[in-house]
A and B are shown apart, each in its own frame.
Chain A
Amino acid sequence: DQQVKQNSPSLSVQEGRISILNCDYTNSMFDYFLWYKKYPAEGPTFLISISSIKDKNEDGRFTVFLNKSAKHLSLHIVPSQPGDSAVYFCAASERNTGNQFYFGTGTSLTVIP
């Protein structure tokens, strides 16, 4: 049973506009969330993370929002650039008690020049 879900397999956005990637989770004990970016033929690379004690974390063009009551997080990319075209995975962990990571199925983002 998928504990972390990314319901949009793909997303297309014009260059310069905002990209919003969504992620839902079912386990209320998850307290740490991460986003990874993956290019073809490469391993995922870390993008940004957020702890459950926060509801927002920013790093340059990337912002992650966490809504604990809705068990939902989103990644905003502003402005989107063609180099952002990749597959994005969200991941979750119950940091205090477990050492496992649960990943979503990924969203393929295409930024159109």
Chain B
Amino acid sequence: EAQVTQNPRYLITVTGKKLTVTCSQNMNHEYMSWYRQDPGLGLRQIYYSMNVEVTDKGDVPEGYKVSRKEKRNFPLILESPSPNQTSLYFCASSLSLLAASYEQYFGPGTRLTVT
């Protein structure tokens, strides 16, 4: 089954404790991206990757890191989480931004709470 998977689905952590949210897709997609969803703010793009070893900042990259060592994986790293990073996070992938079909496939989301 074609899908984007995220782990963990739920995470409660404390300020300053480094964490990684994993994202994996099995569709051989080139483009991957991370978003956060907050009430009243919709979905905001954190980072995106056009392909392996190519990453770039989205709208709200502060406090986050990403890496793209393999095509299928795009982990989101919070080196020192703070309470304002409490949010619902989505990973997404797309075949290619050069493709006629431009839509992204989203994972199920990771609910992160930083206390």
Tell me the A residues contacting B by CB distance below 8 Å. Answer: 2, 4, 6, 32, 34, 36, 41-46, 49, 89, 91, 93, 95, 99-106
Contact = CB atoms under 8 A, between A and B. Distances in A.
Contacts, number: 58
B45 A102 contact: yes
Nearest to A91: B43
B33 interface: yes
Contact of A43 (B4, B31, B40, B103): B4
Interface in B77-115: 90, 92, 97, 102-109
A94 to B, nearest CB: 11
Contact of A103 (B31, B44, B97, B108): B44
Contacts of A104: 42
29 contacts: A2-B42, A4-B42, A6-B42, A32-B102, A34-B102, A41-B108, A41-B109, A43-B4, A43-B92, A43-B107, A43-B109, A44-B43, A46-B105, A49-B102, A49-B103, A89-B43, A91-B43, A93-B102, A95-B102, A99-B31, A99-B48, A99-B50, A99-B97, A100-B59, A101-B104, A102-B45, A103-B42, A105-B41, A106-B42
Contact of A42 (B42, B97, B104, B108): B108
Contacts of B108: 41-43
